[in-house]
Structure 1
Amino acid sequence: MVRRKKSALVLNGVFVKKNCFLFLLAPLWLLGQTQQTISEVWQSDQGDGTYANPILHADYSDPDVVRVGEDYYMTASSFNCIPGLPILHSKDLVNWQLVNHALPKQVPLDVFDVPQHGNGVWAPCIRFHEGMYYIFYPDPDFGIYMIKTDDPNTNWSEPQLIKSGKGLIDPAPLWDDDGQAYLAYAFAGSRAGIKSMLLVCSMSPDATRTVENDVLVFDGHEKQPTIEGPKFYKRNGYYYLFAPAGGVSTGWQLVLRSKNVFGPYEEKIVMEQGATPINGPHQGAWVDTITGEDWFIHFQDKGAYGRVVHLQPMKWENDWPIIGKDQGNGVGVPVLEYKKSNVGKTYPKVTPPDSDGFNATSLGLQWQWHANPKLYWGLPTSNGYFRLFCQAIPEGVTNLWGVPNLLLQKWPSKTFTATTKVTFRAHEDGEKAGFLIMGRSYAYLEVKRENDELYVSQVICNNADLEGIETVGKSYKVKSYELYLRIAVDKGGKCQFGYSKDGKTFKNVGEGFIAREGKWIGAKIGYFAQRKGVTNNAGYLDIDWIRFMP
């Protein structure tokens, strides 16, 4: 666990003073970004052998999980956010650590060098086969890609397009007992003009190409509208397709089975919302434990909070799964709390990181950009802060929706207060930096230089995705370059902004703001630095730390 103390860092019990030679000599493993952390604002593990859903109150959309021995690895959709394809690791299915991203940049590079909201990496699938980890991910505008590695904590291969085609989404492979390989997938109606259907085709065993013998194995139009997101499994001689239907926020979990890989498949709804508050419980992964238990991981769409991750118990009856709490009719409903999985051991609490001291010489894994990053957008330093440089507003861009150099992370909980210490060094009038809540509408606390003075104000942009215009609230003159900025998020995504000169007494700035989701992603929090026009000596924002507290 990493604990921040003013200008010092404590890593695994080792005290390292910032801005000193000892920090520079610290071993690379000590400064790594995969140190175990425990969030102050969300922990699913209740410490008494039970857990509370969601296990991740953060936007890990379309989660998929694979077990390899005693280890579980999860990935999720990342859309246009880079680095993409997060890799999370767990030992018990409840406590998850963010350990890597499989996609440092998104291809084609020229396309994703600018923001592509809602495009890019859709629902991926992670699998392990003959010593290799594979991720199959769709880009609805280009087709289905495959990447692989022998160690998910390190570098993954370059994306290989194994099935090209507009509107091909949600791939899931299956390696059969006889060595043959297959790929299930679906259609995105927005690109292909057709949807609510699942297909299966053959695939080379090395997963480098598909065979054009595609078969329509299920049409959901009559009873299972908007069926998509298949996951492919085999058990007791049956081929199974786990697939959500009914829509992201209103649907249910369907399972199909057949004795033949190409069908025909029979269908059964195995989980629905019922009387629970967990809407649209579907799309995810069946996994087991070394002790023989079965579990299902899925998401719930919570608007501005994104698609949060739930864990459900699962059992088999007559070769059909029941997910969640059985209602007595063979159809489950989600659980809010449950006993933890039996994995043979007890493991300590761990969560993905949210707070950051920016003490490492690489950017924390919780941070993503809105497009493929450029080196000159921002850099970690050896002095314990991250430096963001003021970038020129792109030509033709009316608001931050079209700006690529936004440094953001997912919301970690339903309520939290995020406080950050920053220093803003503007070199010219008009340069500004912002502490930002980003979505289809957004708001930020602006620090801007005008007439050689610094001013703080709240800026709001409603309907940014529809070219909305920013409005600037009352400005407050500040004398110090060093400031403490704060955003308090309450239930329903209500945000209040404030600033302080000493980090103790905060002044509210502007009106309350109700956050909105982005395109297929939740609202995010972070920073940007901006200017009009190009210069050879831009100003910058030094970010010392950010802390998330209840």
Structure 2
Amino acid sequence: MRLALAVALELMATVASAQVWRSDRGDGTFRNPVLFADYPDPDIIRVGSDYYFATTTFANTPGITILHSRDLVNWTLASHLVDRLEGKPEYDLKGGNAYRHGLYASSLRYHAGTYYLANTPVGQKTRIWYAKDVRGPWRFHELEREAFDPGLFIEPDGRAYLTTASTADGTITLLTLDKDLAHVTASQKVHYIKGAEGSKIIRRGAYYYMFNALPPRLALSVSRSRSLFGPWETRDQIDDKTGGHQGALVDLPDGRWFGFVMEDSGAIGRMTNLSPVFWQDDWPVWGMREAPGRVPRRAAKPIPGGAFTEPATSDDFGKRTLGLQWQWNHNPEPSRWSLTERPGWLRLKPTVATGFWSARNTLVQKGQGPASRGEVKLDIRHLAAGDRCGFGTFGQFSGNITVQGAPGGKATLAMEVTEDTVDGARTEVRATAPLAKADALWLRTDMDFTTDLARVAYSVDGRRWTGLGGEFPLAFAWRTGTFQGEQLALFCYAPTESRGWLDIDRFTLSALPPAKPERVR
């Protein structure tokens, strides 16, 4: 009996500490995706022996995440571009929300000791950000126009250009920038590809290569020319059935090339795949020579050796600043959260909102696949009557357990599912449960991206768990929801001003056995 108990406890500890997804197989190979989470619109560059990866964040803040790697397979979070979004009251959840807006596809480049990042906030003019250190501080020049999904290219002599194309038009325009990358000095239409957007330009030998996403077909094309101004000739590359539809190439120090591309992957969002690339008649070919035109499910690591690393997830809130894995659903109210009022705990004070979808200071991080469990320990003693605080998912469907404060220090648990639709957000209360007086409460959220289903549970001792409300769906939709994969969310709001608060001791992410086997391309 003791042996069985010891084995069970060891197994539980192993599961709790297991990595959710390991691309690096530890035998000199890797498997796709390199990150089993929503890192859309990738742009990857090499600076010496370091690789940097910029990815879209929409209305989340801090905005635009930048990751770092030494081998293109093992990534860590390096920085964010901006602390908050500017230019619209909706970024503060005033007069409406900014979900599906904010900061879209960026283009990251490095030249002569400076990092540059081109980005066009939705509905605003294009900005060229620059910094000596990828961790910032970043400053920017705002151009005279709005260039959709700008692709930055800088010649060795410093001449700089932006490409821009919109799916609605397909015309690819080349903008010439001045020496400070602060103004557009010329504009010329140089190519046309039906449905093109997300242009990226690289140079190899005598040719320039321009990669374009083709969202209507979920495909990627490549064009080549001996001049940036054309003429360009175009070929199809790959699509979501064979690897992905938006990306480009990055070179290795030894002259080899690898491709990176995002793939629409259901509720988890858009995941990044990595592929060896070989050249045939000065055209890039994705995949391996024995299996061309297809991103491999598994391949040799681009750069062998090196230890396994991954973006941070679990957090004991022991630092004075939030970990880079966390973002707010919009610009937060700084006075309504703290890591210092109770050291070692995250304190959330209720923001005023009519519901979950319109509440500020919802703290999120990416859902992880193929299946994972998020667990939090809460101190709920200081909730006031009317406070609604809890933990769950955040996206097209937001399912959570809400702790509802009541007079006399009592509380009730409610399992709620909020769905965002074209007509607005709708909330369904699936189940409720009375909560006996307790100082601490544990909540957990399980997400399985092989079935696109989730469930939530609670515990008053951290050991015995009670499910509430049954399974609910996970989904991704660009017309509604957040335009992101489903995220994990901590929240605290109230219908009127509140003097209560919620303290969060720790957040833990662990792997779960997926309900379905790993897909094979």
Mark yes or no: TM-score above 0.5.
Answer: yes
Equivalent residue letter for 1:252:
A
- Match of residue 293 from structure 1: 256
Match of 2:468, SS state, is strand
1:232 positional shift: 1.2
The residue that corresponds to 1:519 in the other structure is 482
Q: Does 1:232 align with 2:190?
A: no
Residues in 1 aligned to 2:65 and 2:159: alpha-carbon distance in whole angstroms: 29
Provide closer, same or farther for how the CA distance between residues 246 and 485 of structure 1 changes in structure 2, counting only shifts above 3 A.
Answer: closer
Note closer, same or farther for the CA distance 1:519–1:197 as it changes in structure 2 (3 Å cut).
farther
Q: Which residue of 1 aligns with 2:439?
A: 481
2:373 aligned with 1:417: yes
SS of equivalent to 1:422: strand
Measure the CA separation in 2 of the matches of 1:492 and 1:142.
38
Percent identity at matched positions?
30
* TM alignment of 1:233-312, pairs within 5 A: 233-247=202-216, 250-273=217-240, 276=242, 278=243, 281-312=244-275
C-alpha contact 1:50 1:339 (8 A) present in aligned 2: yes
After TM superposition, the runs of 4+ consecutive aligned structure 1 residues lying more than 4 A away are none
- Greater alpha carbon shift after TM alignment, 68-77 vs 301-310: 301-310
Assess if the C-alpha contact under 8 Å between 2:240 and 2:264 holds in 1: no
After superposition, the C-alpha distances for 1:398-450 in whole angstroms (9 at most, x for unaligned) are x4223232110111222011111111234531112020211122111011122
1:313 aligned onto 2:286: no
- 2:393 corresponds in structure 1 to 437
Retained in 1: the 8 A contact 2:215–2:245?
A: no
> Is 1:72 matched with 2:54?
no
Q: CA–CA distance in 2 between the matches of 1:271 and 1:82?
A: 32
Whole-angstrom CA distance in 2 between matches of 1:429 and 1:122: 39
Indicate conservation of the 8 Å contact 2:385/2:406, yes or no. yes
Q: Tell me the TM-score normalised to structure 2 length.
A: 0.89
In 1: Cα distance, 2:167 partner to 2:245 partner: 17
Which residue number in structure 1 is paired with residue 464 of structure 2? Answer: 505
Query: Secondary structure of 2:267's partner?
Result: helix
Does the aligned pair in 2 maintain the 1:61–1:307 contact within 8 Å? yes
DSSP-derived class of the 1:254 partner: strand
Cα distance in structure 1, aligned partners of 2:138 and 2:67:
14
Following the alignment from structure 2 to structure 1, what is the Cα–Cα distance between the partners of residues 401 and 377? 13
Residue from 86, 89, 104 that aligns with 1:107: 86
Q: Which residue of 2 aligns with 1:218?
A: 191
Secondary structure at 1:139's aligned position in 2?
A: coil
Mapped to 2, the partners of 1:175 and 1:427 lie a distance apart of 54
Q: Following the alignment from structure 1 to structure 2, what is the Cα–Cα distance between the partners of residues 49 and 210?
A: 46
- 1:502 positional shift: 0.8
Secondary structure of 2:296's match?
coil
The 3-state SS of whatever aligns with 2:53 is strand
For residues 76 and 172 of structure 2, the distance between their equivalents in structure 1, rounded to whole angstroms, comes to 33
Judge conservation of contact 1:218–1:265 (CA < 8 Å) in 2.
Answer: yes
Query: What count of residue pairs does the alignment treat as equivalent?
Result: 484
Quote how far apart the aligned CAs of 1:169 are: 1.2
Distance, in Å, in 2 between the alignment partners of 1:481 and 1:435 is 17
C-alpha separation in 1, matches of 2:35 and 2:127:
27
- Tell me which of 178, 183, 188 is aligned to 1:209: 183
CA contact (8 A) 1:326 1:333 kept: no
Q: Which runs of 5+ in 1 are unaligned?
A: 1-37, 190-194
Name the structure 1 match of 2:143: 162
Q: Distance in 2 between matches of 1:179 and 1:132?
A: 11
Q: Distance in 2 between matches of 1:542 and 1:109?
A: 31
User: Which residue is equivalent to 2:6?
Assistant: none
Tell me the equivalent position of 2:515. none
Shift in CA distance, 49/336, structure 1 to aligned 2, threshold 3 Å: same
- Between 1:444-453 and 1:373-382, the stretch displaced more is 373-382
TM-score by length of 1: 0.84
What is the distance in 2 between the residues matched to 1:197 and 1:377? 46
The corresponding residue for 1:461 is 418
> Please, what is the CA RMSD of the aligned residues?
1.9
C-alpha spacing 1:547/1:369, structure 2 compared with 1 (3 Å): same
Q: Which residue of 1 aligns with 2:69?
A: 90
How far apart, in 1, do the equivalents of 2:383 and 2:401 lie? 19
